[in-house]
Amino acid sequence: MTRETHLTGITTTGSPHLGNYVGAIRPAIAASQQPGIDAYYFLADLHGLIKCQRPELVHQSSLEVAATWLALGLNTDNVVFYRQSDIPEITELCWLLNCVAAKGLMNRAHAYKDAVQNNEAAGEDPDFGVTMGLFSYPVLMTADILMFNGGRVPVGRDQIQHIEMARDIAQRFNHLYGEHFVLPEAVIDNSVAVLQGLDGRKMSKSYGNTIPLFLNEKQLKKHINKIKTNLLEPGEPKDPETSTVFQIWQALAASEQTEYMRGEFANGIAWGEAKKQLFELINNQLAAPRERYNELMESPAFIEKTLREGAEKARDYSRPFMARLRKASGIYGFTE
């Protein structure tokens, strides 16, 4: 049986939220339990520096993201789980790739184009506030993927372009230096929900509309009460398809529970009552992981040890592979 490599990273800015859980962490953990899959999951802390230049936040967020994966049941016997910055071969590869990646390709990256458009709209210089980190963000992401020959990369739609860029860069490298890289492929799982946030837009740190994963009960209740609804009164039938309350319910509930809630919407359940039931559903599901999360946050030494072990496993692969890539590109000692 051929083995498949799955690889994904979470950028360490901010606290993980329900959207990360449903859209990325839960399916990744499920995939890691399948036979025949080699899973590489990591904290993208070097990517964190692009968006956040507050050292204490990047640092704290790394700890939170690591504790979140572990609290939600990631089994590090099945998965190579590491911190990007612990693998120096990634930044080294990033340079080799920078030297083959076309600048014109990077000009088309969404994040960079958005920044330019916003600057132009504001009458600023087009590159105002744009760092080389932001500009070459897709090259670092390509290094993450190619370092472990991550063939299949589960991503949200917003990341498809980055995977295409990674393919393009891998192809150029292979063309110049020989067939070293598997061409990566984006895997979009349509059964994985892209959660809506409190305001009905996609749940995202950048919109500030998230429900953080491990809030205490009181805070969780408060956040759920802020989910945007409409003015329909109790007793008036409500449309589940346009409701964020229903959408979050559906992403977490078993199918019978979803059918039950669909019925309640048809019967005109009050928004207050629907939110109360949603709170109970989320709280029941997250109570045990929350307890583990709180314990893990008190044990940074355990998390550090886990990540170091993961980095060792990762480097068993990346060290010899990087040596091969150096050699292929002409960077090696005179007696080798």
How big is the chain, counted in residues?
A: 336
Nearer to ligand TRP, 70 or 90 (CB): 90
- DSSP secondary structure letter of residue 24: I
Q: Pick from 67, 153, 165, 303 the residue near ligand TRP by CB under 6 A.
A: 153
User: Nearest approach, Cβ of 147 to ligand TRP (angstroms)?
Assistant: 10
- Given the structure tokens 């449309």, which residue do they identify? 239
Nearest Cα neighbor of 158 from 113, 120, 212 is: 113
Nearest Cα neighbor of 212 from 50, 45, 57, 68 is: 68
Span from 29-37, 60-68, 141-149, 321-329 in contact with ligand TRP (CB under 6 A): 141-149
Return phi, psi of residue 17, to 5°.
-125, 175
Span from 31-39, 61-69, 101-109, 137-145 in contact with ligand TRP (CB under 6 A): 137-145
Give the Cα separation of 306 and 272 in Å (integer). Answer: 42
Closest residue to ligand TRP, judged by C-beta, is 9
Is residue 20 near ligand TRP by the rule CB under 6 A? no
Is residue 155 near ligand TRP by the rule CB under 6 A? yes
Is residue 31 near ligand TRP by the rule CB under 6 A? no
Nearer to ligand TRP, 9 or 19 (CB): 9
Give the Cα separation of 126 and 115 in Å (integer). Answer: 8
Is residue 136 near ligand TRP by the rule CB under 6 A? no
- Structure tokens that stand for 81 in this block: 């789980």
Could you tell me the end-to-end alpha-carbon distance of the chain, in angstroms, rounded to an integer? 36
Is residue 318 near ligand TRP by the rule CB under 6 A? no
Nearest Cα neighbor of 41 from 30, 56, 50 is: 30
Give the Cα separation of 140 and 146 in Å (integer). Answer: 10
Nearer to ligand TRP, 153 or 303 (CB): 153
User: Nearest approach, Cβ of 159 to ligand TRP (angstroms)?
Assistant: 6
Is residue 87 near ligand TRP by the rule CB under 6 A? no
Nearer to ligand TRP, 203 or 224 (CB): 203
Q: Pick from 25, 31, 44, 87 the residue near ligand TRP by CB under 6 A.
A: 44
Q: Pick from 43, 139, 141, 303 the residue near ligand TRP by CB under 6 A.
A: 141
Is residue 11 near ligand TRP by the rule CB under 6 A? yes
Nearer to ligand TRP, 12 or 277 (CB): 12
Per-residue CA distances from 169 to 9, 98, 105, 151, 252 (Å): 19, 9, 9, 14, 38
Nearest Cα neighbor of 52 from 141, 134, 135 is: 134
Span from 4-12, 88-96, 189-197, 282-290 in contact with ligand TRP (CB under 6 A): 4-12
User: Nearest approach, Cβ of 21 to ligand TRP (angstroms)?
Assistant: 14
Cβ neighbors of 312 (< 8 A, separation 6 or more) are: none
Question: With contact defined as beta carbons under 8 Å apart, do 133 and 91 qualify?
Answer: no
Q: Which residues bind ligand TRP (CB under 6 A)?
A: 7-9, 11, 44, 47, 141, 144-145, 153, 155, 159
